[in-house]
Amino acid sequence: MSPPDAPLSRAEAALRVVRLRRAQRVFERLFRDLPFGKRLRTGSFLAFKGALGASVAFAIGHALHTEQAYWAAISALAVTQPRYLESRGASRDRCLGTALGGAAGFAGLWLGHSGDVLSFALALAAVTLVCWAANVAQAARIAGITTAIVLLVPAEGPLWEIPLFRFGEVILGTICALLVGWMVTRLEERVEHDEQEPGA
């Protein structure tokens, strides 16, 4: 077995991927096998976190007169997960992917123009390769989506405004989702603790 800091061989890397996928399937099966009441409660807390986080993000974005405040709400929904640690990981990937996608989209606008298929294809390929090379593959999908939005959705104003506003809206939505998620997670933990107390 290799030391922890040694680079993985191809066989070891492939084995890790297989084990990770297997563990993910087991985790999903365990969640599906939860009793109905537990699933319903987990879903209720998730619905509450998503609705509150997205509503707060949209309200703040609207009050700040951002170009498209709905992106803040979409970002809040995208990073809201059943567990707070999962939300933190999703938030990191979303912010990183948005930053890289915004940079790729800006480069594509600088080289071509909005709606230019060649600029879009080059920027999309480049940002995907950068994400994988930098070992942040989870951010690649978000980076690609952001690149597409910046390059394909018509917008007016200076080129730098589009990626900058998008990044600001994503950050706003992410912060709202994390704050709401943290507070609701504390509430959820208290409810679970109170349920276990009588039998203790």
pLDDT of residue 62: 93
What's the CA gap between 200 and 198, in Å, rounded? Answer: 6
pLDDT of the residue at 162: 74
Confidence band (pLDDT; 50, 70, 90) for 72?
very high
Count of domains forming the chain: 1
Backbone dihedral angles phi then psi of residue 82, each to the nearest 5 degrees: -60, -35
Quick check: is 121 in a domain? yes
Global pTM value = 0.72
Once rounded to an integer, what is the mean pLDDT over residues 69-93? 90
Of 9 and 94, the one with more pLDDT: 94
Task: Answer whether residue 10 is part of any domain.
Answer: no
* Average pLDDT of the residues in 30-51: 83
Looking at residue 54, its pLDDT comes to: 96
| pLDDT number for residue 27 | 67
Q: Is the pLDDT of residue 180 over 90?
A: yes
Segment 125-155, tens digit of pLDDT: 999 999 999 988 889 999 999 898 888 877 7
Give domain status of residue 139, yes or no.
yes
Q: Is residue 87 part of a domain?
A: yes
Is residue 23 domain-resident?
no
The pLDDT assigned to 182 comes to 93
In a domain, 9, yes or no: no
Q: Establish if 85 belongs to a structural domain.
A: yes
Whether 124 maps to a domain, the answer reads yes
Q: Torsion angle of alpha carbons 168, 173, 177, 183, nearest 10°? A: 70
Domain of residue 149 covers 37-196
Q: Looking at residue 175, what is its pLDDT?
A: 94
Average pLDDT of the chain?
84
| pLDDT tens sequence across 82-101 | 888 888 888 999 999 999 99
